Amino acid sequence: MSLEDKCRDAFKKRDHKEAVRLLPLVEEQNILKIIFWWDLLHLSSYNGWLDVTKDLITKYHCDPHEKDGLGWTCLHYAALNNHVDVMRYLIDECHCDPMAVDRRGWTPLHWAAYYCKSAAAEYLLSTGKCDPLAEDNNGYYTPFAIAQFNSLTDTLSVFKKFGSIKSSHPIDSYVNVLLVGNPGAGKSTLSHVIKDTAISSIVLGSFRNVGGVVPCTAGIIPYKLQHRTLGNIILHDFAGHSEYYSSHSAVIENLLQGSGGVFLIVVNILEKELLKQLHQWVTV
């Protein structure tokens, strides 16, 4: 048996000591294919080996977002065996998407509900990033429906515990991010970076009417984005020219009614116009 096969076999047999011993030996040969490494990462996540999982990602440069032939990520595998510590590391430090879907459209929460892994389900729901009503590719199975089907387990009670999440903190709610700045300061560049690194993007076509502001003529372009790092946001790219100030004030006041927002202010501190603009933006 080759050294590569012995290493994989140790992972499959959950022989932690042997796996730790063989990993650096295999890496020294430098003859392995990429598929071997993410296969080990998935097995390590499935086994709940937090130390090995960290090493595979940080030392051996495995991609924690990589999917296998079934469309599963290492987060799917960690959820399958209730390994909350591994899941927390993958989500908090590796920014793995807890709503990643496999080939059938199932998220890690779907599988946690299916295999009655209540600890995994409770953790995923506690992040506020998982939708218990997310439908699969067939538009039928949701994590909550699966938990109801397995009603003899305590997994259903976990879903009921978090039953108010959807109504009080909707998974599809979006945080307003207001990108403002004076011309030439790099605001547009930052906007492009945020949009280019988003998972999905939709250009919105209207604002709510306030104070006579005509939709989409206020020098503002809103983008509805799902971003791996920033979460669900609506990026409002405000033109930096002074002729838009009055309409900006009305729009900002409307956007912040009943909800908070995040301001990203990009300015050129060498320009005197800065003080006037800052005063306009922060005194709304």
Give per-residue pLDDT as tens, 53-72: 999 999 888 889 999 889 99
Between 81 and 158, name the one with better pLDDT.
81
**Residue 207 burial by CB count (10 A; 0-12/13-18/19+): exposed, middle or buried?**
buried
Q: Report the chain's mean pLDDT, rounded to a whole number.
A: 77
State residue 213's pLDDT score.
35
Between 204 and 27, name the one with better pLDDT.
27
Does the pLDDT value for residue 19 go beyond 50? yes
Give per-residue pLDDT as tens, 227-249: 767 777 888 787 776 666 666 66
User: Do the beta carbons of residue 80 and residue 47 sit within 8 Å?
Assistant: no
Lowest mean pLDDT among 104-113, 135-144, 183-192, 212-221: 212-221
State residue 203's pLDDT score.
55
Give per-residue pLDDT as tens, 139-164: 888 998 898 887 656 788 888 776 65
Burial readout 131-164 (b: 16 or more C-beta within 10 A, e: otherwise): bbebebeeeebbbbbbbeeeeeeebbebbeebee
State residue 206's pLDDT score.
39
The mean per-residue pLDDT over the stretch 278-284 comes to: 56
Superfamily classification of domain 3-168: Ankyrin repeat-containing domain (1.25.40.20)
CA distances from 179 to 34, 38, 49, 134, 278 (A): 39, 38, 41, 31, 12
The mean per-residue pLDDT over the stretch 188-196 comes to: 81
Total-model pTM = 0.58
Q: Which amino acid is at 34?
A: I
User: Do the beta carbons of residue 134 and residue 125 sit within 8 Å?
Assistant: no
Of the pLDDT bands very low, low, confident and very high (cuts 50, 70, 90), residue 201 is low
* Helix intervals (H) in the chain: 3-12, 16-29, 34-47, 50-58, 74-80, 84-92, 108-114, 118-126, 143-149, 155-161, 165-168, 187-196, 245-255, 273-282
In the chain, domain spans: 3-168, 175-282
